[in-house]
Amino acid sequence: MRLQGYAVLDRDAVCGLASCDAAQLAALAPGWDDLALDTYLRDGGRYRRRRHACFVQDADALVQAPHRAHWQSQDYNALHGGMHRWFEPVADATLAQPAWAGLIRGFGKLLTQLRGQSRWYVEAHQFRIDTTDGIGRPTPEGAHRDGVDFVVVLLVDRVDVKGGETRVFEADGTQGQRFTLGQPWSALLLDDARVIHESTPIQPLAEAGHRDTLVLTYRAGAFQGED
């Protein structure tokens, strides 16, 4: 992270950060089977389902914030920025899983070591990108930054799809890397000020497939739209 602005962690490393085992991470996965359709897609697509929740972390203390709209500036999201997007909240059964809080708290403590910032405003996004209509776009806005300090992208699962290649580029340079997250609960960490990122579209290998991710964003000072 310090050298390149991004890092990739395998599942064992994620388990260590979250103070949980692989079975506890796997217990989160059923929460992706009941996501609500994203009705804000400006390309008219029906390929994205999601839920959303917000938290404030201060050292070891993690408190869920009242449900709020997700907002991004058009400076960071030209396609969907400037809108208050109200997504369905993360289900209580998912929030109750020990690994859920463990993931948020564990990554927050790691990022505190990198930045020296102990209070984080965290947004958690459950995504399912499916191929029901033939193609699914994980990042319809293209290569972008999120307007936060750090982004964590965790692959929950890939089922009967090809594509979904991750691309990370220097925000102020020409260097970049391309790779595909394949191991469930592996993670990509991004310094949002230093790199831009995107994921390529997915296509089905069978009648239909999907790609599930958990995206955590960490921001100092306030949630986006509050400062």
Higher pLDDT, 71 or 89: 89
Whole-angstrom Cα distance, residue 191 to residue 150?
Answer: 5
139 within a domain of the structure (yes/no): yes
Asked if residue 123 is part of any domain, the answer here is yes
Whether residue 1 lies inside any domain: the answer is no
Find the CATH number of the domain harbouring 37: 2.60.120.620
Give a yes or no: residue 225 inside a domain: no
Query: Alpha-carbon distance 187 to 225, whole Å?
Result: 27
- Nearest one of 103, 81, 104 to 225, comparing CA atoms: 81
User: Domain containing 72: what range?
Assistant: 6-220
- Count of structural domains, the chain: 1
Residue 226 maps to a domain: no
pTM (2 decimals)? 0.95
- Residue 190 and residue 197 in contact, taking contact as beta carbons nearer than 8 Å: yes
Q: Is 75 a residue whose pLDDT tops 70?
A: no
- Assigned domain for 133 exists: yes
pLDDT higher at 75 or 187: 187
Whether 76 is covered by a domain: the verdict is: yes
Give pLDDT, residue 22: 97
Residue 77: the pLDDT is: 64
pLDDT digits (tens, 9 = 90+) for 160-196: 999 999 999 998 887 889 999 999 999 999 999 999 9
